[in-house]
Protein backbone atom coordinates (compact mmCIF):
# COMPACT_ATOMS: atom_id res chain seq x y z
CA UNK A 1 0.00 0.00 0.00
CA UNK A 2 1.67 3.21 -1.10
CA UNK A 3 0.58 6.75 -0.28
CA UNK A 4 -1.01 7.23 -3.68
CA UNK A 5 -3.42 4.32 -3.09
CA UNK A 6 -4.40 5.71 0.31
CA UNK A 7 -4.94 9.13 -1.24
CA UNK A 8 -7.07 7.65 -4.00
CA UNK A 9 -9.27 5.92 -1.41
CA UNK A 10 -9.71 9.15 0.58
CA UNK A 11 -10.73 10.99 -2.58
CA UNK A 12 -13.12 8.19 -3.58
CA UNK A 13 -14.95 7.96 -0.24
CA UNK A 14 -15.28 11.76 -0.19
CA UNK A 15 -18.00 11.28 -2.84
CA UNK A 16 -20.14 9.57 -0.17
CA UNK A 17 -20.05 12.56 2.21
CA UNK A 18 -23.43 13.55 3.66
CA UNK A 19 -22.82 17.29 3.94
CA UNK A 20 -26.15 18.88 3.07
CA UNK A 21 -25.58 21.78 5.50
CA UNK A 22 -21.99 22.81 4.85
CA UNK A 23 -21.51 21.50 1.32
CA UNK A 24 -17.97 20.64 2.41
CA UNK A 25 -17.11 17.07 1.47
CA UNK A 26 -14.45 15.18 3.38
CA UNK A 27 -13.09 11.68 2.90
CA UNK A 28 -10.51 9.92 5.05
CA UNK A 29 -8.62 6.68 4.48
CA UNK A 30 -6.37 5.26 7.15
CA UNK A 31 -3.80 2.52 7.01
CA UNK A 32 -3.51 0.31 10.08
CA UNK A 33 -0.47 -1.64 11.23
CA UNK A 34 -1.77 -4.82 9.59
CA UNK A 35 -1.83 -3.18 6.18
CA UNK A 36 -5.60 -2.79 6.05
CA UNK A 37 -7.37 0.39 4.97
CA UNK A 38 -10.44 1.84 6.67
CA UNK A 39 -12.43 4.72 5.25
CA UNK A 40 -14.92 7.31 6.45
CA UNK A 41 -16.70 10.45 5.27
CA UNK A 42 -18.34 13.31 7.11
CA UNK A 43 -21.97 12.76 8.13
CA UNK A 44 -23.80 15.95 9.07
CA UNK A 45 -27.00 16.34 11.07
CA UNK A 46 -29.87 18.83 11.31
CA UNK A 47 -28.77 19.27 14.91
CA UNK A 48 -25.39 20.58 13.78
CA UNK A 49 -23.14 19.47 16.65
CA UNK A 50 -24.25 15.87 16.13
CA UNK A 51 -22.47 15.65 12.80
CA UNK A 52 -19.28 13.64 12.60
CA UNK A 53 -16.02 14.13 10.73
CA UNK A 54 -14.59 11.84 8.08
CA UNK A 55 -11.62 10.94 10.28
CA UNK A 56 -13.98 9.94 13.09
CA UNK A 57 -15.81 7.57 10.75
CA UNK A 58 -12.58 5.99 9.52
CA UNK A 59 -11.38 5.48 13.09
CA UNK A 60 -14.68 3.87 14.08
CA UNK A 61 -14.43 1.52 11.09
CA UNK A 62 -10.88 0.59 12.10
CA UNK A 63 -11.84 -0.16 15.68
CA UNK A 64 -14.90 -2.14 14.59
CA UNK A 65 -12.61 -4.24 12.37
CA UNK A 66 -10.45 -5.06 15.38
CA UNK A 67 -7.44 -2.88 14.58
CA UNK A 68 -5.89 -0.48 17.05
CA UNK A 69 -3.00 1.29 15.39
CA UNK A 70 -2.91 4.01 12.74
CA UNK A 71 0.21 4.10 10.59
CA UNK A 72 -1.01 6.79 8.17
CA UNK A 73 -4.21 8.66 7.41
CA UNK A 74 -5.07 10.58 4.24
CA UNK A 75 -7.68 13.35 4.30
CA UNK A 76 -9.36 14.89 1.25
CA UNK A 77 -11.75 17.80 1.68
CA UNK A 78 -13.37 20.67 -0.13
CA UNK A 79 -16.63 22.07 -1.40
CA UNK A 80 -16.09 21.77 -5.13
CA UNK A 81 -12.46 21.07 -5.83
CA UNK A 82 -10.10 19.74 -3.19
CA UNK A 83 -8.84 22.29 -0.74
CA UNK A 84 -6.37 21.62 2.00
CA UNK A 85 -8.30 20.12 4.94
CA UNK A 86 -6.08 19.44 7.90
CA UNK A 87 -7.85 17.43 10.60
CA UNK A 88 -9.81 19.55 13.07
CA UNK A 89 -8.62 19.76 16.66
CA UNK A 90 -11.02 17.11 17.91
CA UNK A 91 -9.97 14.68 15.19
CA UNK A 92 -6.28 15.27 15.93
CA UNK A 93 -6.95 14.01 19.45
CA UNK A 94 -9.03 11.09 18.13
CA UNK A 95 -6.25 10.09 15.74
CA UNK A 96 -3.70 10.42 18.54
CA UNK A 97 -5.55 7.82 20.57
CA UNK A 98 -4.36 5.21 18.06
CA UNK A 99 -1.25 6.85 16.58
CA UNK A 100 2.30 7.50 17.68
CA UNK A 101 4.06 10.81 17.10
CA UNK A 102 5.62 9.48 13.90
CA UNK A 103 2.31 8.45 12.28
CA UNK A 104 1.79 10.25 8.98
CA UNK A 105 -1.13 12.55 8.24
CA UNK A 106 -1.46 13.18 4.52
CA UNK A 107 -3.45 16.29 3.61
CA UNK A 108 -4.58 16.33 0.02
CA UNK A 109 -4.71 19.55 -1.97
CA UNK A 110 -6.03 20.36 -5.41
CA UNK A 111 -4.15 19.26 -8.53
CA UNK A 112 -3.33 15.87 -7.00
CA UNK A 113 -0.91 17.57 -4.65
CA UNK A 114 -0.51 16.65 -1.00
CA UNK A 115 1.51 17.48 2.08
CA UNK A 116 2.53 15.01 4.73
CA UNK A 117 2.66 15.96 8.39
CA UNK A 118 3.48 13.83 11.38
CA UNK A 119 1.13 13.32 14.28
CA UNK A 120 3.65 15.08 16.51
CA UNK A 121 3.65 18.13 14.25
CA UNK A 122 -0.13 18.50 14.23
CA UNK A 123 -0.63 17.76 17.92
CA UNK A 124 2.55 18.48 19.87
CA UNK A 125 2.77 17.73 23.57
CA UNK A 126 -0.46 15.78 23.26
CA UNK A 127 -2.43 14.29 26.08
CA UNK A 128 -2.31 10.52 25.95
CA UNK A 129 -2.79 7.66 28.37
CA UNK A 130 -1.20 4.32 27.63
CA UNK A 131 -4.30 2.21 27.45
CA UNK A 132 -3.80 -1.51 27.64
CA UNK A 133 -5.27 -2.62 24.35
N1 LIG B 1 -14.85 18.05 8.63
C2 LIG B 1 -14.30 16.79 8.61
O3 LIG B 1 -14.95 15.81 8.22
N4 LIG B 1 -13.01 16.66 9.01
C5 LIG B 1 -12.23 17.69 9.44
O6 LIG B 1 -11.12 17.46 9.88
C7 LIG B 1 -12.70 19.06 9.34
C8 LIG B 1 -14.15 19.22 9.08
C9 LIG B 1 -16.25 18.20 8.21
C10 LIG B 1 -17.20 18.53 9.33
C11 LIG B 1 -18.33 19.20 8.58
O12 LIG B 1 -19.21 18.20 8.10
C13 LIG B 1 -17.64 19.86 7.40
O14 LIG B 1 -16.37 19.25 7.30
C15 LIG B 1 -17.48 21.34 7.53
O16 LIG B 1 -16.89 21.68 8.70
| Per-residue pLDDT at 112 | 72
**Å from CA of 75 to ligand 1 middle:** 10
| Per-residue pLDDT at 132 | 66
| Per-residue pLDDT at 87 | 98
For residue 44, tell me if it sits in a domain. yes
Mutate to test the pocket of ligand 1, among 16, 24, 60, 78 (most ligand atoms within 8 A of CB): 24
For residue 55, tell me if it sits in a domain. yes
pLDDT digits (tens, 9 = 90+) for 4-40: 999 999 999 999 999 999 999 999 999 999 999 999 9
For residue 85, tell me if it sits in a domain. yes
Q: Closest residue (by CA) to atom 13 of ligand 1?
A: 24
For residue 41, tell me if it sits in a domain. yes
Is there a catalytic annotation at residue 34?
no
| Per-residue pLDDT at 26 | 98
For the beta carbon of residue 93, count every other beta carbon within 10 angstroms: 14
Q: What is the rounded average pLDDT for all residues in the chain? A: 96
For residue 133, tell me if it sits in a domain. no
For residue 127, tell me if it sits in a domain. no
For residue 128, tell me if it sits in a domain. no
The total of structural domains in the chain comes to 1
pTM score, whole prediction: 0.96
- What values do phi and psi take at 65, rounded to 5? -85, -5
| Per-residue pLDDT at 34 | 97
* Residue 54 CB–ligand 1 contact under 6 Å: yes
Q: Is the pLDDT of residue 133 over 80?
A: no
CATH number at residue 113: 3.40.140.10
β-bridge pairing 104-108 and 70-78: parallel
Residue-number span of the structural domain to which 7 is assigned: 3-122
For residue 46, tell me if it sits in a domain. yes
Quote the CA–CA distance of 21 and 19 in Å, as a whole number.
Answer: 5
Q: Closest residue (by CA) to atom 2 of ligand 1?
A: 53
| Per-residue pLDDT at 110 | 82
Residue 29 is given by DSSP the state E
Amino acid sequence: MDDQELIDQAIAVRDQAYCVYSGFRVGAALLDDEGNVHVGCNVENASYPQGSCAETGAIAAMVAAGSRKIVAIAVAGGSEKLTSCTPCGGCRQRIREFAEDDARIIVIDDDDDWRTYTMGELLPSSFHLDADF
